[in-house]
């Protein structure tokens, strides 16, 4: 992949000489996506579903085209794609739409300490409300979810398995297909948090065979404020809505109401139409690059940084073996928040914090970490800038006595 030729697709770089290494939080947005957004507002701006006039009908067609493209992107069906406000909302929808009405005291929900808060707290709450129990897959020494460890906590009480596909801190890939197969052998339902995998890996829900899968548009070049919940048709049909109102209802009357079929059943109110319409271009952009080329590119950058970091004595990397483009590290003795300010002075955008993964921070025994994540627009030059700046930070804080 010619990295430098992609950078020009992202207008943020027109204004900012920045090394943007925070894609795991949110990605930058290519011109084509922004163009589609403005195109919708400039030419339609109309509502979907209900308008019989031309503008509204055409807006509906565009909206549905993205649903179709999203389905194809993960090898699902049109009706299996629900648009939500984000991955967080999608995961909450599974927990409260499916979990709440299907869990009983004594049932078990398997999650892990790798989970993002958005795939941890909803289950913690649902467990509290239903009397079910949250069970954690013991992580490997490296911090991975492995099949054997998963098998050791799976049993006939397991009703739901909710695991991250790629950890947003460690970047490890969960062996989710094997796990799903095992889970299904105990009739447990599998919910996959794909927020960090959908942007980087080819996903095939038919192959994984998971029941639910959630991800966010804004981490994969799409607009902010949009997420996707994939659910197997049967699952969605049997799932309760969690929001009620316009568009999700079939018959509304004082005596009782009936719902639309999925996916509309789960999309009450006027949706983020423009964002949905523009997400189409994000999917297209990614597909044009191709996940094989993308992975190779990310790996190259990651390896380059890791090699350099291994020569800086006080840099500790937490995930050297990770399969995805994410380097999580600290400068020993220096709080990551202090480090990030030094990097920011060099126009390097990097995340310092707990990355919405406090249980993992507790597991790692740190308060916070730095995390550099790579994507389509990053270059070896970005890596050089990061490496130089980290070296500078090491020297600076050593001189400051830390």
Ligand X SMILES: Cc1ncc(COP(=O)(O)O)c(C=O)c1O
Kindly tell me which of 27 and 328 has the beta carbon lying closer to its own copies. Answer: 27
Kindly tell me which of 91 and 190 has the beta carbon lying closer to its own copies. Answer: 91
Q: Which of 6, 7, 60, 122 binds its own copies (CB under 8 A)?
A: 122
Interacting stretch for another protein, rule CB under 8 A, among 33-41, 83-91, 122-130, 348-356?
348-356
Cα torsion through 313, 362, 115, 162, rounded to 10: 140
Interacting stretch for another protein, rule CB under 8 A, among 10-18, 193-201, 315-323, 349-357?
349-357
Q: How far apart are CA 143 and CA 121, in angstroms?
A: 20
Q: How far apart are CA 188 and CA 215, in angstroms?
A: 21
Residue 243 makes contact with its own copies by CB under 8 A? yes
Scan residues 366-385 and list those touching its own copies (CB under 8 A). none
Contact letters for another protein, residues 19-58 (x by CB under 8 A): ------------------------------xxxxxx-xx-
Least distance in Å: CB of 159 to ligand X?
A: 21
**356 part of the active site:** yes
Scan residues 215-274 and list those touching ligand X (CB under 6 A). 216, 218, 227, 246, 269-270
Residue 249 makes contact with another protein by CB under 8 A? yes
Q: How far apart are CA 218 and CA 279, in angstroms?
A: 9
Least distance in Å: CB of 258 to another protein?
A: 9
Least distance in Å: CB of 26 to ligand X?
A: 8
Tell the burial category of 221 from Cβ atoms under 10 Å away from its Cβ (0-12, 13-18, 19+).
buried
Kindly tell me which of 195 and 205 has the beta carbon lying closer to ligand X. Answer: 195
- The residues carrying an active-site annotation are 356
């Amino acid at each position: 992949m010619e990295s430098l030729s992609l950078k020009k697709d992202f207008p943020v770089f027109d204004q900012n000489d920045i090394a943007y290494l925070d894609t795991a939080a949110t990605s930058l947005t290519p011109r084509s996506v922004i163009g589609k957004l403005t195109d919708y507002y400039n030419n339609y701006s109309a509502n979907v579903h209900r308008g019989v006039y031309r503008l509204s009908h055409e807006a509906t067609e565009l909206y549905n085209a993205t649903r179709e493209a999203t389905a194809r992107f993960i090898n699902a069906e049109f009706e299996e794609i629900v648009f939500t406000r984000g991955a967080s909302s999608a995961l909450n929808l599974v927990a409260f739409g499916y979990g709440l009405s299907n869990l009983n005291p004594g049932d078990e929900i398997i999650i892990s300490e790798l989970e993002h808060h958005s795939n941890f707290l909803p289950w913690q709450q649902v467990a509290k409300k239903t009397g079910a129990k949250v069970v954690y897959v013991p992580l490997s020494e490296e911090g991975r979810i492995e099949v054997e460890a998963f098998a050791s906590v799976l049993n006939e009480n397991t009703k739901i398995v909710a695991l991250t596909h790629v950890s947003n801190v460690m970047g490890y890939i969960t062996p989710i297909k094997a796990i799903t197969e095992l889970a299904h052998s105990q009739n447990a339902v599998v919910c996959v948090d794909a927020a960090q995998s959908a942007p980087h890996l080819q996903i095939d829900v038919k192959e994984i065979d998971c029941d639910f899968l959630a991800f966010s548009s804004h981490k994969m070049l799409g607009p902010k404020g949009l997420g996707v919940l994939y659910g197997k048709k049967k699952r969605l049909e049997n799932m309760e809505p969690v929001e009620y109102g316009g568009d999700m209802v079939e018959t509304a009357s004082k005596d009782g109401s009936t719902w639309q079929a999925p996916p509309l059943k789960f999309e009450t109110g006027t949706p983020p139409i423009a964002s949905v319409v523009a997400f189409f271009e994000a999917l297209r952009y990614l597909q044009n690059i191709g996940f094989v080329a993308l992975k190779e590119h990310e790996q190259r950058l990651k390896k380059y940084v890791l090699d350099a970091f291994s020569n800086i004595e006080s840099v500790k990397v937490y995930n050297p073996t990770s399969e995805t483009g994410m380097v999580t590290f600290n400068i020993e003795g220096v709080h990551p928040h202090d480090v990030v300010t030094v990097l920011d002075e060099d126009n390097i955008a990097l995340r310092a914090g707990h990355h919405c993964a406090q249980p993992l921070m507790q597991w790692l025994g740190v308060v916070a970490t730095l995390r550099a994540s790579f994507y389509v627009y990053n270059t070896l030059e970005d890596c050089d800038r990061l490496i130089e700046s980290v070296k500078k930070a090491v020297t600076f804080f050593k001189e400051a006595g830390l």
